[in-house]
Amino acid sequence: MREIEIHDYARQLLEAHGAKAIAEAAQNAVDLEARGEVELARTWRHVEAAMKIMRGPHQS
């Protein structure tokens, strides 16, 4: 996936699933890593990172 596609997908996930989208992306990466799908897992880690940036700093 190109960078723009990753950020677009990350934005769509955040809009659809809210904050839990980050956890879902992380879990997808873990599951893919366990199956040996390294490239797909790397893409999900990238999506996860993009969502964290979009979310901004954590507020308590």
**DSSP codes, 9-54:** HHHHHHHHHTTHHHHHHHHHHHHHHHTT-HHHHHHHHHHHHHHHHH
Per-residue model confidence (pLDDT) at position 59 = 52
pLDDT tens, residue by residue, 5-59: 999 999 999 999 998 999 999 999 999 999 999 999 999 999 999 999 998 876 5
- Of 45, 13, 47, the closest CA to residue 29 belongs to 45
Q: How many domains does the chain have?
A: 1
What is this structure's pTM? 0.88
Q: Which of 44, 50, 43 is nearest to 7 (CA)?
A: 50
Report if residue 60 sits inside a domain.
no
Task: Answer yes or no: is 17 within a domain.
Answer: yes
Domain that holds residue 14: 3-55
Query: Contact at 8 Å (CB) between 40 and 32?
Result: yes
